[in-house]
Amino acid sequence: MNPPYLLPFLEVVPHPGVKQERVDRLLTFLKSVGHMPIVCKSSPGFVISRLQLCVMNEAVRLVEEGVASPQDIDRAIQYGWGYRFPIMGILEFIDVGGLEILYHAGRSVSAELNRPDLECPELIKDRFNEGSIGTKTLKGIFNYESHEQVAEDDRARLKKQIRVKTLLDEIHREDGAWH
């Protein structure tokens, strides 16, 4: 992600022949200089570019279809995702909200728009069919220890979200976004 001196995220794509010890040393070094690396396999676009590609293309489609203005699409990202995702990742968000929501929304929106690409991935369908719908059942995309731990995580997340909201609200007020 760019600019790398401002954004801590990095994708590390080790060659299959590289020893894990070397990868671990690199990860330790990157973390020590303030980066947040992930390890992924070589794939077109790797992780973040593939995710961005989906979101950017869908944002433009929404504008093309007249669903919302470019300004409102950007506001939706800034004031929706921008407030939520500093605290939790997208897959954690799915588990917390419940896989059943993604399952039903994917089926409904895909059918209404005649867009098979919006159908849920097989992983979501499989988990839904086996009743593993996230934090409610202690299994979804991730596994959870106990309902007590889920509740504790929810409280910690809420405290962090309040801090993020306070900071972002201040920034947006300074920018004149709140008229």
Q: Where are the domains of the chain?
A: 9-39, 85-174
Looking up tokens 């990157």 gives: 30
Q: Which tokens belong to 164? A: 């993020």
Question: Which residues are designated catalytic?
Answer: 11
CATH 2.60.40.420 fits 85-174, yes or no: no
Among residues 15, 13, 87, the alpha carbon closest in space to that of 46 is found at: 13
From CA 100, how far away is CA 5, in angstroms rounded? 39
Task: Tell me what the mean pLDDT of segment 150-158 comes to.
Answer: 97
pLDDT confidence of residue 179: 52
Is residue 1 over pLDDT 70?
Answer: no
Is residue 5 over pLDDT 80?
Answer: no
Is residue 3 over pLDDT 80?
Answer: no
Q: What does the pLDDT look like over 80-91, one tens digit per residue?
A: 999 999 999 999
Task: Tell me what the mean pLDDT of segment 81-108 comes to.
Answer: 96
Looking up tokens 């407030």 gives: 83
pLDDT confidence of residue 4: 72
Q: For 117, which DSSP code?
A: G
From CA 38, how far away is CA 8, in angstroms rounded? 11
